[in-house]
């Protein structure tokens, strides 16, 4: 269970000259360390009605289960202050949809944005009040307690306890890694965006859940297609975009992101759908299938399995300063690493929620999820199994072919071709590498990278440090803008 405590419930109140929206914060990370109820912003929203609808859309995703629908506790959205913008994020209860609202500098007026990350209270009375915001109502936004409340209130008066599954945490990490492989595939005008999104099936409609759907850019719009073709974008579970309908009347365009798709590719892939609003962006990232959450995609396993990436991540984390856009080249120069090692380190940091990825800017950004970061790696079953195999001496290397003896005595062959590993196990036969490496291939990769197994011998290695632990024998310090 995750306990989230607030000074008082978030509320929308009438005041002279407009309305005041007070979003209460919980314990979170800041540049000066962990803090109870940090304060990130106090000022006006330049597009109050659009901002209210977009915030409700983020809350909708947090409260939703798009697969095997059932009532479940809703985890409050996460808010990050990046100095020039506010980001509100949530994850669906089924683990297959990530939502993020970026309120950019043009969307904010009259206040400085702080730095840090925490949960923000979005309760049912607040949702009802936000849905009644009028087009001409000035709206003052406060993220964090009133200035006087910081010193006058004693302890929390509101506490929520909700389940925090490990697959939810792993999903947050996997969504960032997958999104980093996306490119912009299509951009639709407001009118075309409304036409396309309103034609999609709603949740619960007959035929709304089925095989993978695809769309391809044609002219100014998107045309459905029955199969993947070059340039196509997968639309897995189109009913999962229903939250975007809240903001359609305020949309200026729709941007669609996805990975490159080869001709005749049949396997579904993830995609991201971004509504551009006045001074804001609302993005939903969908897992490859409505019945499949992000947690099992396996995109972070290679980065987690290397001691080098773990050590580099510690160095890089020292240089992060809540930047809204992390420049890999600048970070590589400051850390004395190659850009490739910096990217691997960022993936490693993403597994503990310490960075996110913004598809609109094709860049990582710094944030610190207010959860136990170490759980992501400790509770990743394939990674644990791979390390167990390595410790048990189950890996034998022989050139491009390796043999892994599983716990049940079955022998699996792992082959390498053009840098990619394949395995004779049922997992690889089923997914063909589409959901990351199997535990056998991961164990082989770990053995080769560590150099602990000589060719033709049985491997036995020590366990590497978990995410968030300092590498043995390495001290980290910032000196004159660099790292030593």
- How many CB atoms neighbour CB 131 within 10 A? 11
Q: Give the pLDDT score at 45.
A: 95
Nearest to 193 by CA among 253, 240, 121, 109: 253
Q: Domain locations in the chain?
A: 2-164, 172-293, 301-377, 381-459
Per-residue pLDDT tens digits for 408-424: 899 999 999 887 899 99
Is-same-fold flag (172-293; 301-377)?
Answer: no
Q: Give the pLDDT score at 211.
A: 63
Q: Give the pLDDT score at 119.
A: 95
Residues whose CB is less than 8 angstroms from the CB of residue 18 and which lie 6 or more positions away in sequence, other chains included: 137, 138, 139, 140
Q: Give the pLDDT score at 430.
A: 87
Q: Which CATH entry fits the domain spanning 301-377: 3.40.50.920, 1.10.10.10, 3.40.50.300, 1.20.1250.20? A: 1.10.10.10
Write out the E strands in 359-417.
363-366, 395-398, 401-405, 411-417
pLDDT band at 451 (very low <50, low <70, confident <90, very high): low
Q: What does the mean pLDDT of the chain come to?
A: 85
CA–CA gap between residue 383 and residue 306 (Å, rounded): 11
Q: Which CATH entry fits the domain spanning 172-293: 3.30.390, 3.30.60, 3.10.150, 3.40.50? A: 3.10.150
Q: Which residue has the higher pLDDT, 101 or 159?
A: 101
Nearest to 350 by CA among 100, 476, 175: 175
- Would you put residue 353 in left (φ > 0), alpha (ψ -120 to 50) or beta? left
Whole-prediction pTM: 0.85
């Amino acid at each position: 269970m995750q306990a989230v405590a607030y000074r008082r419930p978030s509320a929308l109140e009438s005041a002279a000259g407009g309305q005041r929206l007070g979003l209460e914060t919980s314990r979170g990370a800041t540049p000066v360390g962990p803090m109870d109820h940090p304060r990130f912003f106090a000022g006006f929203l330049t597009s109050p009605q659009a901002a209210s609808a977009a915030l409700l859309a983020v809350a909708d995703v947090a409260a939703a289960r798009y697969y095997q629908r059932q009532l479940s506790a809703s985890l409050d959205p996460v808010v990050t202050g990046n100095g020039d913008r506010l980001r509100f994020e949530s994850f669906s209860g089924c683990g297959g949809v990530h939502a993020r609202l970026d309120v950019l500098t043009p969307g904010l007026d009259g206040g400085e944005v702080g730095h840090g990350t925490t949960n923000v209270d979005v309760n049912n009375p607040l949702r009802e009040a936000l849905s009644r915001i009028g087009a001409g109502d000035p709206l003052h936004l406060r993220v964090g307690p009133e200035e006087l409340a910081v010193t006058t209130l004693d302890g929390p008066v509101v506490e929520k306890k909700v389940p925090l599954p490990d697959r939810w945490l792993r999903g947050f990490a996997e969504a960032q890694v997958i999104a980093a492989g996306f490119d912009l595939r299509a951009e639709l005008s407001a009118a075309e965006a409304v036409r396309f999104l309103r034609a999609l099936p709603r949740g619960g409609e007959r035929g709304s859940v089925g095989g993978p759907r695809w769309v391809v850019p044609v002219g100014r719009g998107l045309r459905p297609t029955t199969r993947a073709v070059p340039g196509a974008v997968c639309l897995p579970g189109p009913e999962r975009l229903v939250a975007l309908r809240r903001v359609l009347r305020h949309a200026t365009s729709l941007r669609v992101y996805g990975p490159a798709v080869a001709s005749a590719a049949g396997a579904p892939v993830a995609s991201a759908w971004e509504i551009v609003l006045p001074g804001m962006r609302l993005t939903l990232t969908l897992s490859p299938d409505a019945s499949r959450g992000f947690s099992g995609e396996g995109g972070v396993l290679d980065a987690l399995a290397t001691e080098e990436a773990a050590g580099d991540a510690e160095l890089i984390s020292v240089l992060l300063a809540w930047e809204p856009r992390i420049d890999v080249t600048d970070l590589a120069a400051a850390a004395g690493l190659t850009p490739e090692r910096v990217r691997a380190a960022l993936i490693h940091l993403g597994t503990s929620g310490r960075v996110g990825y913004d598809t609109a800017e094709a860049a990582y950004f710094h944030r610190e999820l207010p959860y136990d970061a170490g759980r992501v790696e400790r509770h990743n079953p394939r990674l644990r199994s791979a390390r167990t195999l390595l410790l048990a001496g189950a890996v034998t290397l022989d050139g491009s072919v390796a043999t892994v003896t599983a716990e049940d005595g079955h022998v699996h062959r792992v082959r390498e071709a053009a840098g990619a590993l394949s395995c004779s196990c049922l997992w690889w036969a089923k997914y063909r590498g589409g959901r990351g490496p199997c535990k056998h291939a991961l164990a082989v990769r770990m053995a080769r990278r560590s150099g602990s197994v000589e060719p033709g011998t049985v491997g036995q290695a020590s366990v590497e440090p978990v995410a968030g632990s300092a590498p043995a024998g390495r001290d980290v310090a910032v000196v004159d803008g660099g790292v030593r």
